[in-house]
Structure 1
Amino acid sequence: MKLRLILSFILLATCFTAFSQEKKNEAIVEKGLVKISVMYPYAEGKTFNMEYYETKHMPMVAQLLGSNLVKYSIEKGIASGIPNQPLPFMAVGTFYVKSLSDYQAAIAPKRDAIRADFANYTNVSPVILVSEVVK
């Protein structure tokens, strides 16, 4: 009985810790941050290497952003919002930064190297949207 109680407590504490960390990460995306969405359109015959993107490309760009970077995320497209319609994007990489000018200053000198790395994971030209988080 004691062992069951201890195991239940450990499970509860683990769940609480995971939930708290998830809530903490959600709170990071706040009003006023700049969001850079790099979207890779789906098209017949186009390819995307998610493993390379996740383990090499995005960490490389994130490192360039330094302390301006609040958070980044990687999404894999799985369906269109409209049934029986083609997937609009194969993948989306998103950076949340504090300052657009600092983002641009960090990226500008490395722009060619970043673009050259595209060939390592895709044959698609991305669509980039820069926006401000309003809520």
Structure 2
Amino acid sequence: MIAITVLYPKTATSTFDTTYYHDKHMKLVGDRWGSMGLKGATVLHGVNGPDGAAPPYAVITTLQFESLEAFGKAVQAHGPEVMGDIANFTNVQPVLQFSEIAA
């Protein structure tokens, strides 16, 4: 199993529509990739730390796929639609991290 972590940086000029993200984008991800090896997703919203410091990321989402190959096929089939939707909820480019789930 692998995880694709999608990190949305928080900057002084960044915007992020959490309602759209949850109600539309994550539904789109599930609808398009759910039958293509997507096993689950976790969405984390950054909050200020105990010292009041702003988080470096507005949102961090982890997508669990059965394999890197399954993710590749899902992106090949529906990537333009899913990635094209990003502009509807944020003005930043996400950073992707690919990881093997070890524990």
Q: TM-score scaled to structure 1, two decimals?
A: 0.68
Pair 1:119-2:56 in alignment:
no
Q: Deviations over 1:69-114 (max 9, x none)?
A: 221111111125x835331100011111111101111112322222
Aligned-partner residue type, residue 40 of structure 2: K
Pairs aligned (count)? 102
State the partner residue of 1:105.
73
Paired residue secondary structure (2:85): helix
Assess, with a 3 A threshold, how the Cα gap between structure 1 residues 61 and 133 changes in structure 2: closer, same or farther: same
Q: Deviations over 1:10-46 (max 9, x none)?
A: xxxxxxxxxxxxxxxxxxxxxxx21111110000021
Aligned-partner residue type, residue 29 of structure 2: V
Pair 1:133-2:101 in alignment:
yes
Paired residue secondary structure (1:87): coil
Give 5+ residue unaligned stretches, structure 1.
Answer: 1-32
Structure with max Cα Rg:
1
Give 5+ residue unaligned stretches, structure 2.
Answer: none
Aligned-partner residue type, residue 104 of structure 1: G
Runs of 4+ in 1 over 4 A off after TM superposition: none
Q: Please identify which structure carries the higher strand content.
A: 2
* Residues 46 and 58 in structure 2, CA contact (< 8 A), matched pair in contact too: yes
Q: Please identify which structure carries the higher helix content.
A: 1
RMSD across aligned C-alpha pairs, in angstroms? 1.6
Instruction: Find the aligned partners of 1:117 and 1:92 in 2 and give their Cα distance.
Output: 17
Q: State the percentage of identical aligned residues.
A: 28
Instruction: Find the aligned partners of 1:112 and 1:70 in 2 and give their Cα distance.
Output: 21
* Residues 36 and 70 in structure 2, CA contact (< 8 A), matched pair in contact too: no
Q: TM-score scaled to structure 2, two decimals?
A: 0.87
Describe how 1:38-49 pairs up with structure 2 within 5 A: 38-49=6-17
